[in-house]
Amino acid sequence: MRKLTVLFFFIITFNVHAQELFVMTEPASNVSACSISARIGQSLMKEKYDSGYNYHMMPEVTWGINKNWMVRASAFISNRNTDLVTEGGGFYAKYRFLSVDDLHSHFRMAAFGRYSFNNADIHQEEIETMGHNTGYEAGLVVTKLVNKVAISSSVSYEKALDNKPDYDFPDGQASSAINYTLSLGRLMYPKTYTSYKQTNINLMVELLGQTLADNGKSYLDIVPSIQFIVNSQARIDLAYKQELYSSMLRSAPNGVYLKLEYTFFNVTN
């Protein structure tokens, strides 16, 4: 915990051109207009009440329709039932409705929404439409970029539904929640830009929280991460998520994330 705290203050203390490309959350900015990105996200989470690990893989395709709109399609693949199977998928859209630009900074606000479907068993109180629950999410995100530091925060409402065809949402369990996030990132390298081919290295830390609307149960996670941007097109993210506290049942809250992404520019011009 002490090391995570040191990392947090290390990131926010420096007065430093960041890229707002967070590992666990979406900033208010969109992917480049007329571009398509392909991403594969993987996570390996330690089971909290059983032995072993839970592996999830999420292939995603994102389309930057224009500077204000982007859409994404995702698939959810898991080994929770021993075999690696496709459990569902989801659709995400984001609309950037405010942009304030200055010489060395900018401010963005956006609204986003998600709908997901999932056929897996419902095994925890945490609501997560990215890989566990059928349902929907809607919210707002704000992002501020100053020199080499990016700060982003979001709040959203999330609703879980039945995981059809076999798993009804449990009676007596809270089916809706408020989510809140805070993400901070700093560009560590290069100190000075000389070419777009330079590899960028970003350090960041993210706080992820949720409160169930019906009973007030909540959790808070911290996620330190490192990110590499190669040739301005390829992206490699490595992160570790650690639960800080929780009053709800969560089956596998702690583990590592690896995300690989490649962007194809000017595809839909």
Phi, psi of 168 (to 5 degrees): -75, 150
Share of the chain above pLDDT 90, in %: 83
Structure confidence at residue 19 as a pLDDT band (50, 70, 90): low
pLDDT digits (tens, 9 = 90+) for 111-146: 999 999 999 999 999 999 999 999 999 999 999 999
pLDDT at 258 over 90: yes
pLDDT at 5 over 70: no
pLDDT at 153 over 50: yes
pLDDT at 265 over 80: yes
Domain spans, the chain: 2-264
pLDDT at 34 over 90: yes
Chain centroid to CA 243: 16
pLDDT at 251 over 90: yes
pLDDT digits (tens, 9 = 90+) for 161-216: 999 999 999 999 999 999 999 999 999 999 887 888 899 999 999 999 999 999 99
pLDDT of res. 15: 34
Residue 131 in contact with residue 163, Cβ under 8 Å?
no
Q: Residue 4, SS3?
A: helix
pLDDT at 29 over 90: yes
pLDDT at 82 over 80: no
pLDDT of res. 193: 79
Residue 175 in contact with residue 160, Cβ under 8 Å?
yes
pLDDT at 23 over 50: yes
Any idea what DSSP says for residue 193?
-
pTM of the model: 0.90
In words, the CATH class of domain 2-264 is mainly beta
Q: How far apart are CA 204 and CA 185, in angstroms?
A: 4
pLDDT of res. 151: 97
Per-residue CA distances from 154 to 110, 141, 142, 180 (Å): 9, 4, 6, 6
Average pLDDT of the chain? 91
Neighbouring C-beta atoms of residue 266, cutoff 10 Å: 10
Q: How far apart are CA 132 and CA 74, in angstroms?
A: 13
Q: How far apart are CA 179 and CA 155, in angstroms?
A: 6
Q: What is the mean pLDDT of residues 232-254?
A: 97
